[in-house]
Structure 1
Amino acid sequence: MDNRISLQLMLDATGHVTSYATVGGLTGATTYEGEIPDEFLTSTQPQAFKLIDNVLTKDPNYAPSVQPVVENQPSDEQRFQAQLALQMATMQKKQAEFNAQVLLQLADTKETVTPAAPVTEVTPVTSEAPAASEAPVTSEASKTPVTSEIVKTE
């Protein structure tokens, strides 16, 4: 099998491959045309390969760096939003409990109250206007037509 290929290689200061492109190009990349090791294109660690004297080879001294496993941690903003949502939910729960207590007290109060005598409404009578029971008295005889004359003076 022919392992000759043309690649664009990004290299670090030690000559190890940091990334590569088989199609297209990378800004600042080195063009490599030649043989590649069998496992280069299937490897998940291109850093294990090094360009030595313009030949791409697997570095026998390469040891993958042990990266600590970082679980997806929420950002500060996400933590703040979660705290705010928790505070809102707690406040809503407390408000609902308070409302329930008020309704229970109101129900207890209505049960213990005995009906009182009916209340009659009193309307005040003022001298300015006739009382509601009094109707103004008018008669046809009391109405006199009003005429007016306009006198012109020169």
Structure 2
Amino acid sequence: MIAGKLELLLDETNHILSYAKIGGFDGGVSFDGDFDESLFTATDSRNFWVKDGAIVLDTNYKPTPEPIVPDIPSRSDLAAAEIAKQVASNNMSTALLAKQVAIILSTNKQKEVE
């Protein structure tokens, strides 16, 4: 434990959402007391909370799972998909046209032979 001053942003259960060594937050609270130095290297500051005037690790803390937000395609992704559909449709039309031309040519050759 070390002693020091921090600006804290806390949730309703006094878990630390964020902290600042310099500066502060709208709605933040000043803290001047003891805390575990591992707060500075923790990947999730919400594992710590203010209890009895000190910042301590909450060994019982279970983070609330973040909501899963589906990937929403960008406008350029949607445009690229639309172009790909048009190209596929054009290719199918070209193939059908080529088949029809081949049938017509084949029919004309048969008529010439007769």
User: What TM-score results when the alignment is normalised by the length of structure 1?
Assistant: 0.53
Aligned position for 1:18: 17
* SS across alignment from 1:25: coil
Larger radius of gyration: 1
1:73 and 2:104 matched: no
Aligned position for 2:48: 49
Whole-Å separation in 1 of the counterparts to 2:107 and 2:89: 27
Whole-Å separation in 1 of the counterparts to 2:55 and 2:86: 60
Aligned position for 1:94: 92
Offset at residue 69 of structure 1 (A): 8.8
Aligned position for 1:108: 106
Aligned position for 2:3: 4
Offset at residue 23 of structure 1 (A): 3.3
Mean Cα deviation higher: 56-65 or 33-42:
56-65
Distance 1:74 1:13, change over 3 A: closer
Whole-Å separation in 2 of the counterparts to 1:22 and 1:50: 16
Q: Which runs of 5+ in 2 are unaligned?
A: none
Q: AA paired with 1:62?
A: Y
Offset at residue 107 of structure 1 (A): 3.5
Aligned length: 110
CA displacement, residues 7-58 of structure 1 (integer Å, 9 cap, x when unaligned): 2211011111111223332221112233320311111121121112332112
Task: State the identity as a percent.
Answer: 22
Q: AA paired with 2:61?
A: Y
- Higher relative CO (Cα under 8 Å, sequence separation at least 6) belongs to 2
Higher share in strand: 2
Higher share in helix: 2
